Structure 1
């Protein structure tokens, strides 16, 4: 009765959502679901989910509960056709409306809300839900209808007051924890799913906020006939009573499955009476929690008794008969919707790329962490470099400082691209979750990520160059300046592409940072400045130098500076000169800049080839990055 009262109160508080009505999924069931991994010590098969069975009907909410390590998330992932855990093998039957769904069909009719949903902090509430709609709904829907659906859903989750509030970034506060949870669910429901999987939607929230989240879900589920399957950990009594069904797991085995209201009398019948004024969720979890138990002790024996009692119970036999009917019905049941008749239109890859570009552009210019900090960082580097290599002269004693400045500018611009690692990993995390829900593909993500970065990298390059080029007194011409900009721009694009590749292969912040820094250190060593090419070890020369984009940048910037410039020799008196570089201008007391290039074995007429090679390296990095995220499913 308490549960019914709470449900009624919730429905009276929140208006129903008019655009999610669906009755195409009547039942969702699973039978003999097993997940097996290889034991790390014995290398033998280890069952982490054993013979799980269940059935849920449209409009119902089921809570999957159990102590840590009981298999809650494993079961949820297995039901959603996701990788249950690393290296796991999943077997068993999963049916929707008596029919076996493909992965694509399940993605079409369901959505999965992760425990930590990847919301983009610089977007507003409305933009977050709207972008989710644009990535999932066909363009034939129409802009006005889409926006109406978005606004209605925001209103249904009680967030109309925060419509234009940003989610929140590390340097700008936005939504509260509970509001973020609601927004995460709302952004998934805009796709009109029929089945909703939720992994611990109340984690990190107090009892009041937890009740708020589940009550909103209850309203949406009942009003729109959705089927909700949620793993949840230690809810309050009021939150727990909002669910319709309960699945209790311990050590991967089922301890109870059935109506929530029947759980208490069931455990009473097997001699486990719940005391009055007790939180039922805590009572059930305490019964099956064996974290501190040892094999053979009282707690362990109690768990074994509970598991065996469930296998022998009338409730299990009723569930077994239900599943037999469910699995025997098949396509011939006229009372259920044929899965083949459910058609879900999704935007094309091109349309998805445009949406990602739009969203990425907003994130890039709003989020100071993404490019703003890098712009300030590079500006600081420019002031440092410009004042250290200040007003170099066209004398032979300043030739080496010019060369040092060229190396420093190109190498450290590239090296400091490691600052892009956290921003890319955030984007990649968002992509991984959207991809798992069948919304975004690797190609659209890689293309949009590349295109969004170009204008910001060009802005960074020009800002750096305006300060450094003229302070250091490089070749004073418009052509020289823009060639310098070109080489540094290609340098930054290649460096950022390297970050994308490394972070796609190693999507862990510290690892990606270390590998990218090491790679940049390697490129510095073999680019031809620290060790001239004529004495560089053949291994490093032939294995790494020719794929080192910094080498071509260094050579291009050297040609840009020295090809058309002359430098004065040191006078020794009596009209004679000492020239440190031999050229045909030595007799005039000058050094032809081409002589400097000759010392470094740099050709004068290969700039076009070098540009092409760098572009090829950039494309190669991006293609390898695409392959990496296509292969990885996390």
Structure 2
């Protein structure tokens, strides 16, 4: 654990730790001036003094949590110091992941306390925690380097320049040995990309970019072969020691090599502590209760077999673990008569001060390891200032790492780059060009006469309907997998939801408009090009209808967690939209007339007719329009629309479409913000 002669942060002031020969007194500290110096002691490059994280001394005691009536954790203790790796082990369902959720602040506890350098867990400390989930959730079409670069630009502070952030990414890639695969796409079950071990390291790399003080990893070795698992654990161990990080991870069934890489072990059995202490002493603990390991047997396999035994054997192990808490070797920080800073308030909402050394004698402090004692004493000055301050609530205030504009700009670029291979794939290009040519040939060079009226209307209705369905179901199918990534990033506090939502609308807008524009560019001139203004106006309404349909798809995708349910609802809505659009049925029953006003196709189809037939069309020899006589051989636009029922003017239809766009976008944001927020 590298502690001496290192930069660290106490409150809002930067300090340089100087070694002290007298171990009974706290190490000397003095302020240092923030500069652009690059640390050459093995720590992250490009970090200013105010970006050096304070090493975290994590202690938790008496943790209890439940899911409804069923208890999951019961009176769990643990302690891990900077530079150490704590392994949490136990059979499936024993509460390993629940414990990590509690330590990260994502789970409400029934009882117990969590302390970071003897301070209660709050929002300020949550920013110094990285939580690597068991699932590897990424955008599959981005390369590993692109993923890390976007993460760095989002989660590293604006005080760092772009070049500094990229040097930071290079350092992470080098530390986790990802150089050879940095230009490989992440991939998924369809597209081949990174291997399982590389995805695990990529998952860890994204979280390490924030240079956290505490690392929580949920089964980082699951799904990996023995060599890849050992390589990953070796990297984590080396990183924890060299960078002075505190690491807590869950392991399912590790090899003996991986098992011995961990400094501390917390063994859980039915949500209770079956063993806590040094990893190298667990065999002696089991031997003391009559459970002896066979020679050349993996200790990890042995202890897991014991805690999976009969209920009597499990209770025997748990009782022995409880008895070991009374040992003199049990950490002083976990003893229940040791007072930390109180998280209770008096009537004036100020933290009540307590003497953190009220039950710790000088002999006990002298008996501690030098590094542990130094950490205790160094944090005393920080604790005292926090206790006496009246702005303790402000210390826990959550602040975003980057500004709204930075988040919007980076997310717009990422959304564009991530969605481009999916929305502008070769198959979509072939489909669009082929369909444009086919539609142009089917309705080739139609004269603006009454005989061709039905065919011209058919092209309009087909174009608006097809691109409505394309955009709607495209948004619907892309949203569920993207939602997992967004939820993970929102839980880590990477950016504002408003910045993401606005960036998604703007970043994907050129992609959403590209294919409909190409289709229109091909098919309309083949239909019969008459006026550039009419061509551009029809294109505008086609694109507006496409964007509105995409908005409805986002809203339904945000509301429905189940893909099948969202497809069913979308099919019902889009088919109803077509039926009441004004082309398939004009004689709508009076009691169903109101439904056409909920159809986006209805307004887009009417607008296209208004634009196309502004100058009217020529009457047929046997016209169905009564106004066609020998004196009047011209059908005005109003008569064409009146034959389909009532209609609105161009500006009114446009306003209704814009209202559809605004309402569904706002509703989608409200759903994500208040109803589907990640827990």
TM range (shorter): 0.7 to 0.9
Which residue is equivalent to 1:34? 64
Quick one: distance in 2 between partners of 1:586 and 1:59?
97
The answer as to whether partners of 2:220 and 2:249 remain within 8 angstroms in 1 is yes
SS in 2 for 1:633: coil
Query: Which of 520, 534, 544 is the matching residue for 1:480?
Result: 534
Query: Which of 529, 543, 568 is the matching residue for 1:514?
Result: 568
Distance change >3 Å, CA 541–CA 272, structure 1 → 2: farther
Q: What is the CA distance between 1:404 and its match in structure 2?
A: 2.7
Distance change >3 Å, CA 117–CA 578, structure 1 → 2: same
Quick one: distance in 1 between partners of 2:630 and 2:552?
43
Matched, 1:278 2:297: yes
Which residue is equivalent to 1:492? 546
Which residue is equivalent to 2:76? 52
Quick one: distance in 2 between partners of 1:233 and 1:616?
53
Matched, 1:18 2:44: yes
Quick one: distance in 2 between partners of 1:588 and 1:454?
46
Query: Which of 446, 462, 473 is the matching residue for 1:408?
Result: 462
Query: Which of 507, 512, 526 is the matching residue for 2:580?
Result: 526
Aligned length: 588
Quick one: distance in 2 between partners of 1:236 and 1:173?
29
Distance change >3 Å, CA 546–CA 318, structure 1 → 2: farther
Matched, 1:226 2:245: yes
Q: What is the CA distance between 1:81 and its match in structure 2?
A: 1.2
Distance change >3 Å, CA 315–CA 557, structure 1 → 2: farther
Distance change >3 Å, CA 480–CA 51, structure 1 → 2: same
Matched, 1:550 2:581: no
SS in 2 for 1:434: helix
Quick one: distance in 1 between partners of 2:133 and 2:222?
11
The answer as to whether partners of 1:54 and 1:319 remain within 8 angstroms in 2 is no
Distance change >3 Å, CA 526–CA 258, structure 1 → 2: farther
Distance change >3 Å, CA 378–CA 289, structure 1 → 2: farther
Quick one: distance in 2 between partners of 1:553 and 1:139?
44
Question: Where does structure 1 lack aligned partners over 5 or more consecutive residues?
Answer: 1-14, 39-44, 291-298, 570-576
Q: What is the CA distance between 1:195 and its match in structure 2?
A: 0.8
Distance change >3 Å, CA 123–CA 46, structure 1 → 2: same
Which residue is equivalent to 2:173? 154
SS in 2 for 1:578: coil
Q: What is the CA distance between 1:23 and its match in structure 2?
A: 6.1
Higher helix proportion (structure 1 or 2): 1
1:431-452 deviations in Å (ceiling 9; x for gaps): 1111111111210110010001
Which residue is equivalent to 1:608? 651
Distance change >3 Å, CA 562–CA 431, structure 1 → 2: same
Quick one: distance in 1 between partners of 2:337 and 2:491?
28
Which residue is equivalent to 1:296? none
Q: What is the CA distance between 1:516 and its match in structure 2?
A: 2.6
Matched, 1:101 2:121: yes
1:391-433 deviations in Å (ceiling 9; x for gaps): 4444434322322332221122111221233333333222111
SS in 1 for 2:584: coil
Quick one: distance in 1 between partners of 2:189 and 2:312?
49
SS in 1 for 2:247: strand
TM-score (norm 2): 0.80
Question: Where does structure 2 lack aligned partners over 5 or more consecutive residues?
Answer: 1-40, 342-352, 357-376, 387-391
Quick one: distance in 1 between partners of 2:540 and 2:589?
27
Matched, 1:426 2:481: yes
Which residue is equivalent to 1:440? 495
The answer as to whether partners of 2:56 and 2:214 remain within 8 angstroms in 1 is no
Quick one: distance in 1 between partners of 2:188 and 2:522?
30
Distance change >3 Å, CA 347–CA 265, structure 1 → 2: same
1:74-131 deviations in Å (ceiling 9; x for gaps): 11112111147xxxx64432211111122x2133111111112322333333332222
Which residue is equivalent to 1:595? 639
1:281-304 deviations in Å (ceiling 9; x for gaps): 2222222237xxxxxxxx233223
Q: What is the CA distance between 1:246 and its match in structure 2?
A: 1.5
Distance change >3 Å, CA 317–CA 395, structure 1 → 2: farther
Quick one: distance in 2 between partners of 1:586 and 1:61?
95
Quick one: distance in 2 between partners of 1:548 and 1:81?
45
Q: What is the CA distance between 1:221 and its match in structure 2?
A: 0.9
Which residue is equivalent to 1:567? 618
The answer as to whether partners of 1:250 and 1:288 remain within 8 angstroms in 2 is yes
Q: What is the CA distance between 1:211 and its match in structure 2?
A: 1.0
Query: Which of 311, 334, 343 is the matching residue for 2:322?
Result: 311
Quick one: distance in 2 between partners of 1:478 and 1:100?
68
Distance change >3 Å, CA 253–CA 171, structure 1 → 2: closer
Moved more, 506-515 or 437-446: 506-515
1:358-395 deviations in Å (ceiling 9; x for gaps): 22222233x24676654444444434433444444444
Quick one: distance in 2 between partners of 1:527 and 1:419?
21
Distance change >3 Å, CA 433–CA 327, structure 1 → 2: farther
Moved more, 591-600 or 462-471: 591-600
Distance change >3 Å, CA 324–CA 550, structure 1 → 2: farther
Greater relative contact order (CA < 8 Å, ≥ 6 in sequence): 1
Query: Which of 501, 516, 519 is the matching residue for 1:461?
Result: 516
TM-score (norm 1): 0.85
Quick one: distance in 2 between partners of 1:585 and 1:256?
99
SS in 1 for 2:339: helix
Quick one: distance in 2 between partners of 1:71 and 1:238?
24
Quick one: distance in 2 between partners of 1:83 and 1:562?
62
Distance change >3 Å, CA 518–CA 277, structure 1 → 2: farther
Alignment of 1:76-225 (within 5 A): 76-83=100-107, 90-102=110-122, 104-168=123-187, 173-225=192-244
